[in-house]
Each structure stands twice: as structure tokens, then as C-alpha cells.
Structure 1
Amino acid sequence: MSNMVSWSKLHDDVLQLILEGLDIITYVRARTVCKDWYAACKRITSVQEKSPWAIIFPDGRSKCGSCLVSDCCTSGLTGKCKFYRLHNLGNDFGTHRCIATCGGWLLMLDLRSSLYVLNVFTRERIKLPPFESHKGRLCVERRRRDTNFVINKSSVTTRNAVNKTNAVLWVDERTKRYLVVWSIGLWYMMYARSGFDFWREIPTREGPENLYGCQDIAYKDNKLYVLSRQNQIRILDFSQELPLALPTNVEHQPFTNDRPWRVKIGVTVSEHVLMVKNRLNKILKIFKSDSEGTSWDTVESLEGEAWIMDLGVTVPAVNGTKPNYIYYSKDKYVYWGDVSTQELGMGQYVNLNRNFSYARWFIPSLREL
């Protein structure tokens, strides 16, 4: 009698233990082995990486429906990064721009039509309201190869806006409820959430929000943190259908005389606000709001956390994520560096492929239903 045992006929408990120990890419592949393995994956309910991965996007000029992902913050520290290609993301994927992520979900901007949300592992899409549905001062002019936004007689194309845009994305993995906030330049912000069939303006020059422009935004636990053009941190509570401006704010940011778009903010696990200049190939001083939220203190340590700048938040430093590290991206490269030593590392894919144009950090996750 043969002693050979089919891998597809492993005991359920043994198979589940194996699947739970896989990284997310191997797990996604394991779902396609056979019906028994797929059923076992469904029982696991969710898989999430503990450390940030790099996602590398195709050149917008190419007809490419795939992207690359890599666990380069761990593999890159010991050797050459290993890359995985995710296919079948849509024939138009290469011409669109990712402006925010949440787990395995990407907020994609189609320069000619609208925003949508895409899961890179399941290929699910969440259709967002069209720009024309906007309730506010924004007017939309459709053009042959682009979309033109008109705000108070001033206009900007999506191609120009994407270079000076900030966005946040939140998606509930189980219910697919979502929230999207997008700023177009310094002076215009809008949002949409589940149940809306329109975009709504967030006033930046008037009203109780008192934002006076937007240099950067971050989102954590139903709160939107806005670095205003007046160098204040304003907080909007999104726990209800309409956002509510909280009275708490931090004034007099340490980079008051710096030019816009060079300052980034983030939120720690304990909901303190961080701030740093966004410079290529450099780690500069990081500041943190004090316990009263009225001034800034210099940060010498992130106290067991790592700051993922592309996500606007810090995370507990576990597994491959190093404590006191900052992870950020610029164009086609991703970087990581020790805040205390100012030592830098970079993803080792400089000569990977000229068909890939930009990258960013994300923390992959997948929930099985």
C-alpha cells in the first residue's frame, strides 16, 4: 500500500495551521490549489502582514494590468528584495494613479473620469460617486484626455492636481464600508462615504472647521487630522454622517517658514501628532505634539513604534518592522531609516524595470468572507 498522502487531503486542523503561517502572497496562491484548500482559507477569516510592504506601480504610458509587491523592509536589510507580481488588475490600471491605500485596498484616480477603490488581492472594485455629483463649489469639465476642475473661476486639471494632492482611504474589510477624503491643492477638500451617491465639500476658508487650507492630512480611528495652511493641526470627527470640527488644535508648527508640500504629518498609536519635513534621501528632525496638544517637542525616539508616512500613522514595531524607524517613498523608490542614527536604506530595485514609475508603502491584508 502506498504511503503517499495527497496535500489536498490533509487534516483540516493541520492544513489551517500551515495556512495561518504563510505570508499573504503565498496565502493568496494557496487559495487556488484546490477546493479543500480554498474552504480552509475561508475558515481563517483574515490575514494581515505585521510589517509594511512596497507596492510598485507601472509606468502610466504602458498598457499594464499588473503591479509588483515586495517585503523589502525585511528582505532588503539582509539581501536583494524578492518581488511578486499581481496580475489581472484591469487593462486601464497602468494609466491610473494610486493616491492612498488601506490594507489591500487602493484608492485609484482615473485622470479622465473618476476615483475608484480596488483590492489588489481579490480584484474587487468599489465604485465611487462621479465627480459631477459634487455638492459644493467644484465644477467639472470633461475633456478628451483629462478632467478639469473649476473652483471659484480657477481651474486645474487632474494631471496637475495629482502632484499636489493628499488623500486618505478607510475600508472595513468585512462590510466594505468606506470613507474617502481628497484634497485638490491647498484650498479644496471633499469626501464621500458609504451610502453617499455624491461628493461633499469640506469648507477650508469658512465655517466651524476653520481649516484655512490643507497642507497634509492623516486619518485614524474616525478622526481626520488636517495640517492647515495657517500651520495649525485641526481635527474633524467622522464618527457621524457629517464631520464635526473638534475644538482641539495645535498651533505654531516648527516649519512655519517652509514652503507648502514639504511637511508631512502622522498620528501615533496614542493619537499624538507627528510632523517632519519631506526631503528626499534625508531624515530630518521629527516633532510630536505635547500631552496638552498645544506645542511641539523634538522626537528622539518613536518609543517602540514605526512611522509609515504613506499611511500617515505609526504602528507597533513587530516582526519585520523596526522600532524607531520611519518608512517613506519618493517617486519609484521606497526608503527606511533610523530616526536616532539618521541611517538610511533603500529598496534594491533601482534597475528593476523601466516600465515601473512610482512606489509606496502599504500593509497588506485580506479578509475572507
Structure 2
Amino acid sequence: MELPVLSNTFMRLPVPHESGPLTDDGLLLPLAKKRNPHPQCYCWSQLPSDLLQLVFDRLGFADFQRAKSVCSSWQSVSRNSQPNNQIPWMIRFPKGNDPDHNYCLLFNPEEKYNMYKTPKLGNDFSKSFCVATYRSWLLMQPQYEYMHDHQFNLYILHLLTGERINLPAFKTYYGLTCPILWIDEKTEDHLVIGMAGEDYAVSFKKGDKSWRQIPTLSGIEECFSMVFKDHKLYCLNYAKLKIFDFSGDTPLRVFKTSVSGCLHQPSIGVVMRLPGEIPGKDRRVAHFKNNVVVNLAGDVLIAECHRPCFSNIWEFKIHKMLGNNEWERVVSLGDEAILLDLGITVLAKDLLGIKSNSIYFSTAYSFFEDQYDKNEIFIFNLDSNKVELPHRFVSSSYPRSRSRWFLPSFKRE
């Protein structure tokens, strides 16, 4: 099936098309529909496979999907290629619980004026919100008004194919906080980790029949940021950073260090109301959020985020771990960019669509103001120390609400 490319010029924005949803196999097909009026002159399908693979390995996600759809021989070569998946896309989720709008809109920064529409993702999708991503997979958690007795029915969903993996239900008052999703895109082995309370963590992996409490993760009370990379789990709270090794059958703690010397400790202050402001509406409070990040070299960073009271301006400080209880201030990321929602960095040098020495992040207002329905996404440039909007004229033209950055991928045949 073909994807409706929502192409437009800057002066004229399109209306979202309701037919021909985006699918993984048929993503971005305009090249495939072109016909060669003189087939005797050349035959693209007979290009050497090693030459094609060199080209495929240099393509971004969107161009790779176009190229593999040209002919069967190109698609065959694509199976052994590794496209460049380092450019973050923006995903915008539906607003409300209308079953006719249970799809997402995708924005590729490489294509400044285009947005794409996913296939419809099931009746449950508009009644859920995304709490974590891994490539094109989403970890979905039901909205509170659609739960019974605090029972959470989470599921994993592939954004492009609609494939769904249901997870066992479990009971907890706040749901899964600091959630982590990891999945092997070939075997579909998956791992979900999160805090089910303030003082204990749970996990579920393929083959388990129920959620398991992780005893070795005791002592990470009030954890507010976790990253899973290369089979290691990084857990951060206000006092400690702890690292656990998940490569074996049982997670083992391999490192612990203090972070109290480098992080700002927020205090509870008084929230004032501006004249004419309606109580409980649009109150701006000082916001602190610290995120653990693992860069390409495996170094541990902490991104300290601060938004002052009554301000829309975000401030960032980055600290790098040197050793046990030793941290240094980082003023530049060099050729890398931080994807804060994922807790990783990507190489941004010489890549169209992503800015080096920048932080890609999404933010939300307080829990009591429905944080899952009012968040926005931004880019913080460390060179200018300013927040940039990602083509607001595009994203604001569609009736969507929640948004976040993610790294797209596709399922191999």
C-alpha cells in the first residue's frame, strides 16, 4: 500500500489524507511507481549488489525505504544493509479518544515540509499513551480513566506495521514509572523494566508468564531516570547513580557513585498566582528534571534541566562522570546530539536534519495538569544556549497533542 505523502509548500499546508496509510513494506513509494520509457537504455535492477549496498549503507531511513521499493533486486540487497537510523523523527499522538483518529503523524527533519500518517493502530490506541520507545516500537500504557482497580494492561506496538505484543496485567497505584523498553527486531525478544512503586522495580521479558520484582535493584528508591544500553541499566536518583549488568540470568550491581556534589537539589517553594489567573489553570512552577545519558563512547552524562518559575525558558547543565564521586562540567557535546527521551547520544556530524551539540527533548507540565496530554518537543542548542522549535508551522497545523522524539527503524523480511 502506498503512503500519502503530505507534501506542501511553505505557503500552503495540506489537509491530512484519509486513505492509503503508511506501512513498513510500502513506505515512501514514489520511486517505485516511475516507469522507464526506454528499458533498452539501462536497467537499474542489474546494478552490482556490492555497489548498491555501499549506497544503501549511506542512506537515511526515509531514502532507504524509498530505494528498497524500486525493484525486487534492490529489496534483496537492502536485507543485508544497515541504513542510517541516527536522525530523530517527531511523532505526534492523537488528541482525545476518538477511535477514528487512532493514528500518529510523523515528521522527518530531513524533509522539512512533509508529514506522514501511520496506519490506524487499533481501538485501544487512542485510550492509551506512550511511556517509552525503542526504534519504531512503542510501549503503551492505558489512560487512568480506562482502568479498573488500578490494573495496568500494557502492550508493545510497532508503529509502522501495527504488530502488537500484549503484556500481562499487574496492579499498582501509579502505573509503570521510569519505563524502559528494549526489543530485538529480528527475534522480537523484548525486555520491559520500570518502577512499580517508589522502592521496587519490576521487569518482564519474552518467555515470562508474569511480571517479576527485581530484588537486586533494591536501594534505588525515588529513581527518576533510567537508561538501558548494551545490557546495562543506569539508575539515577537525587543521591546516587547505580549501574546494573543484565547480561546474565540475574541482574548484578556493578557500580555505585554519589551525584549529590554535582546536581542541584530542588526545594519546595511557594507558587504564586498572577493577577487574573484562574486557580489551578496554567500555573507555572519551577521545574527540575535530571536525566542520565550514555554517549557513544560509553561515558555517563547527567543532563540537569531547569525551568524557572513563571518562565518558558529551559536551562541545561551537563556533567560527565570521571570516576567514583568525581564529575566535571561539560560545555560541548562536539559532533554528537543528546536524545533526552532515550538517554543516548547520536553522531550528528555532516547529517542533514539533526544538529550537533544540541539536546532533543520533550517536556510536560505537572502530573495534576494531565502531563500526558500537554507536552511539547524542543531542541536546545548548546552553542547559542537557546531553545529552538522544530518547524512549528508544520506541527501546529494538525490536531495532535502529545509528541516526542524517536529513532525510526523497520522490520526486516
* TM-score after normalising by structure 1: 0.78
Question: What is the alpha-carbon distance in structure 1 between the residues aligned to residue 196 and residue 338 of structure 2?
Answer: 25
**2:169 alignment counterpart:** 131
**1:122 alignment counterpart:** 161
Instruction: Return the letter of the residue paired with 1:361.
Output: W
**1:137 alignment counterpart:** none
The within-5 A match list for 1:172-321 is: 172-184=184-196, 186-203=198-215, 209-228=218-237, 230-252=238-260, 253-258=262-267, 262-269=289-296, 270-277=298-305, 279=307, 281-318=312-349, 319-320=351-352, 321=354
Structure 2 vs 1, CA of residues 45 and 360 (structure 1 numbering), >3 Å: closer, same or farther?
same
Structure 2: which 5+ residue stretches go unaligned? 1-35, 269-286, 364-373
Structure with the bigger percentage of strand: 1
Shift of 1:19: 6.3
**1:352 alignment counterpart:** 397
Q: Residue 365 of structure 1: SS of its match in structure 2? A: coil
Asked whether 1:92 is paired with 2:124, we answer: yes
Q: Does the 8 Å CA contact 2:201/2:217 hold for their aligned counterparts?
A: no
Moved more, 255-264 or 52-61: 255-264
Structure 2 vs 1, CA of residues 353 and 238 (structure 1 numbering), >3 Å: closer, same or farther?
same
Shift of 1:119: 1.4
Question: What is the alpha-carbon distance in structure 2 between the residues aligned to residue 303 and residue 26 of structure 1?
Answer: 26
Question: What is the alpha-carbon distance in structure 1 between the residues aligned to residue 123 and residue 212 of structure 2?
Answer: 30
User: For 2:179, which of 146, 167, 176 is the aligned residue?
Assistant: 167
Structure 2 vs 1, CA of residues 338 and 235 (structure 1 numbering), >3 Å: closer, same or farther?
same
Structure 2 vs 1, CA of residues 38 and 104 (structure 1 numbering), >3 Å: closer, same or farther?
farther
**1:105 alignment counterpart:** 137
Q: Does the 8 Å CA contact 1:186/1:215 hold for their aligned counterparts?
A: no
Q: Residue 47 of structure 2: SS of its match in structure 1? A: helix
Shift of 1:109: 1.2
Structure 2 vs 1, CA of residues 120 and 47 (structure 1 numbering), >3 Å: closer, same or farther?
farther
Q: Residue 262 of structure 1: SS of its match in structure 2? A: strand
User: For 2:361, which of 318, 328, 337 is the aligned residue?
Assistant: 328
Question: What is the alpha-carbon distance in structure 1 between the residues aligned to residue 323 and residue 192 of structure 2?
Answer: 29
Q: Residue 410 of structure 2: SS of its match in structure 1? A: strand
Q: Residue 76 of structure 2: SS of its match in structure 1? A: helix
Question: What is the alpha-carbon distance in structure 2 between the residues aligned to residue 14 and residue 91 of structure 1?
Answer: 46
Shift of 1:87: 1.1
Q: Does the 8 Å CA contact 1:101/1:311 hold for their aligned counterparts?
A: yes
User: For 1:62, which of 78, 92, 98 is the aligned residue?
Assistant: 98
Question: What is the alpha-carbon distance in structure 2 between the residues aligned to residue 352 and residue 41 of structure 1?
Answer: 38
Question: Between Structure 1 and Structure 2, whose CA radius of gyration is higher?
Answer: 2
Instruction: Return the letter of the residue paired with 1:353.
Output: Y
Instruction: Return the letter of the residue paired with 1:59.
Output: K
Instruction: Return the letter of the residue paired with 1:5.
Output: P
Shift of 1:42: 5.7
- The number of residue pairs the alignment matches comes to 330
Question: What is the alpha-carbon distance in structure 2 between the residues aligned to residue 197 and residue 336 of structure 1?
Answer: 40
Query: Per-residue CA shift, 1:247-282, capped at 9, x if unaligned?
Result: 332331422235696222212222223231254853
Shift of 1:20: 6.2
Q: Residue 404 of structure 2: SS of its match in structure 1? A: strand
Shift of 1:166: 1.6
Shift of 1:70: 0.9
Q: Does the 8 Å CA contact 2:139/2:154 hold for their aligned counterparts?
A: yes
Shift of 1:235: 1.1
Question: What is the alpha-carbon distance in structure 2 between the residues aligned to residue 284 and residue 187 of structure 1?
Answer: 30
Q: Does the 8 Å CA contact 1:45/1:367 hold for their aligned counterparts?
A: no
**1:135 alignment counterpart:** none
Q: Does the 8 Å CA contact 2:240/2:256 hold for their aligned counterparts?
A: no
Structure 2 vs 1, CA of residues 278 and 69 (structure 1 numbering), >3 Å: closer, same or farther?
farther
Structure 2 vs 1, CA of residues 313 and 4 (structure 1 numbering), >3 Å: closer, same or farther?
same
Instruction: Return the letter of the residue paired with 1:309.
Output: L
Moved more, 49-58 or 292-301: 292-301
Q: RMSD value over aligned CA atoms? A: 3.2
Instruction: Return the letter of the residue paired with 2:241.
Output: I
Structure 2 vs 1, CA of residues 189 and 368 (structure 1 numbering), >3 Å: closer, same or farther?
same
Shift of 1:363: 0.9
Q: Residue 98 of structure 2: SS of its match in structure 1? A: coil
Structure 2 vs 1, CA of residues 14 and 126 (structure 1 numbering), >3 Å: closer, same or farther?
farther
Shift of 1:26: 5.6
Asked whether 1:343 is paired with 2:386, we answer: yes
Moved more, 81-90 or 245-254: 245-254
